[in-house]
């Protein structure tokens, strides 16, 4: 396994429990346990902003340009960049919904919107992270050992 594959796999292993936690948080909606829901939403927000966003930024800065070069600049990373934009939009939606809730009860409408955001983030992240694993394989086979080591270091530094 190459350094980029190893780092990608390790980061994804750290991300996966949090991604799965989005579903657990969604399950709290409508259960009349609003304090637990607020804690779950706070933990989700912390994960999304402090862990996931830096991971995405590191991929955009270090991995995507190398992959585009390897694939002869055919805008091959455009779908991944669009997914990052959609993930950012969903994170912003979730943050707005958290502000709407405040300390009050969670309304039926807000609960539906929260579920939609949480499940959308979960499903998108599951697919997206699996795609990133495939792209790490491409990088392993297309980069020189020196370039691969540089890329791995950039991904590691950007995802801390």
CATH class, 3-158 region: mainly alpha
* pLDDT tens digits for range 47-104: 999 999 998 998 888 888 888 888 887 778 889 999 999 999 999 999 999 998 888 8
Instruction: Check residue 148 and report its DSSP letter.
Output: H
Whether 5 contacts 134, CB under 8 Å:
no
Cβ neighbours of residue 90 under 8 Å, at least 6 residues apart? 117, 120, 121, 124
Cβ neighbours of residue 22 under 8 Å, at least 6 residues apart? 44, 118, 119, 121, 122, 125
- Residue 147 confidence (pLDDT): 66
Residue 159 pLDDT > 70, yes or no? Answer: no
* pLDDT tens digits for range 32-53: 788 899 999 999 999 999 999 9
Show me where the domains of the chain are located: 3-158
Residue 5 or residue 33, greater confidence: 33
Query: Distance between CA 100 and CA 79 in Å, rounded?
Result: 31
Q: How confident is the model at residue 134 (pLDDT cuts 50, 70, 90)?
A: confident
Please state the pTM of the whole predicted model: 0.86
Q: How confident is the model at residue 13 (pLDDT cuts 50, 70, 90)?
A: confident
Can you tell me the mean pLDDT for 6-12?
Answer: 74
Write down how long the chain is.
160
């Amino acid at each position: 396994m190459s350094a980029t594959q190893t780092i990608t796999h390790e980061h994804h292993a750290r991300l996966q429990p949090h991604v799965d936690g989005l579903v657990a948080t969604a399950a709290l909606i409508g259960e009349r346990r609003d304090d637990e829901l607020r804690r779950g939403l706070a933990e989700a927000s912390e994960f999304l902003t402090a862990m996931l966003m830096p991971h995405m930024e590191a991929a955009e800065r270090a991995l995507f340009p190398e992959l585009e070069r390897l694939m002869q600049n055919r805008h091959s990373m455009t779908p991944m960049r669009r997914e990052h934009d959609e993930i950012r939009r969903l994170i912003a939606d979730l943050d707005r919904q958290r502000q709407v809730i405040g300390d009050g009860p969670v309304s039926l409408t807000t609960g539906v919107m929260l579920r939609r955001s949480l499940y959308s983030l979960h499903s998108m992240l599951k697919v997206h992270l699996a795609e990133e694993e495939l792209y790490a394989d491409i990088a392993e086979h297309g980069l020189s050992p020196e370039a691969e080591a540089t890329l791995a270091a950039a991904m590691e530094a950007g995802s801390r």
